[in-house]
Amino acid sequence: MSDVLRVNPIACDGHGLCAEIVPELIELDEWGYPIISGKPVPARLEKHAKRAVAACPALALQLVRTGPVT
């Protein structure tokens, strides 16, 4: 079981707060929209990832639980 960050691109307005909070997982493109690494969020960054989700003014960012990895 692991979490990945996922953005709803329709809701996202490119505020960019997420990339400030977890630059390890999110970078911004030249227009300020997030490019999210599809990799599972490592345990050491989980708290930051959750903060980024909570900080998104557009409610566009989610932590999505992916199925058990075997």
Partner 1 sequence: MSVAHDERGTRVAAPAGLPRLLAGVRADGRPVTLEAHLRRYGPLPETRGRQSRSAFLGAVAASGLQGRGGAGFPTARKLEAVDAQRGTPVVVVNGVEGEPPSSKDKVLLAYLPHLVLDGAVLAASALGAREAIVAVGRTAHAAVADAIAERRRAHVAHGVTVRVVHAPERFVAGEETAVVSFLNGGPAKPTFTPPRPYERGVGGAPTLVQNPETLAHLALIARFGPSWFRAVGTRDEPGSVLVTLSGAVRRPGVLEVAIGTPLHELVAQAGGATAELSAFLIGGYFGSWLPAADALAAPLSNAGLAPLKGSLGARAIVALPAASCGLLETARITRYLAAESAGQCGPCVHGLAAISEDMVQIARRNDVAGARRVIERRLGQLEGRGACRHPDGTVRFVASALRVFAREVELHAVHGRCSGQAKQPVLPLPARRPDALR
* Interacting residues with partner 1 (CB under 8 A): 8-14, 29-33, 35, 38
- Minimum distance from CB of 32 to partner 1 (Å)? 8
- Residue 28 Cβ vs partner 1, minimum distance, rounded to whole Å: 10
User: In a 10 Å sphere around its CB, with 0-12 CB exposed, 13-18 middle and 19+ buried, how is residue 56 labelled?
Assistant: buried
How far is residue 45's CA from residue 67's CA, in Å, rounded to a whole number? 19
- Residues facing 27 on adjacent strands: 35
Q: How far is the CB of 21 from partner 1 (least distance, A)?
A: 19
Whose Cβ is closer to partner 1: residue 10's or residue 43's?
10
- Residues 30/66, Cβ–Cβ less than 8 Å: no
Residue 33 or 46 with smaller CB distance to partner 1: 33
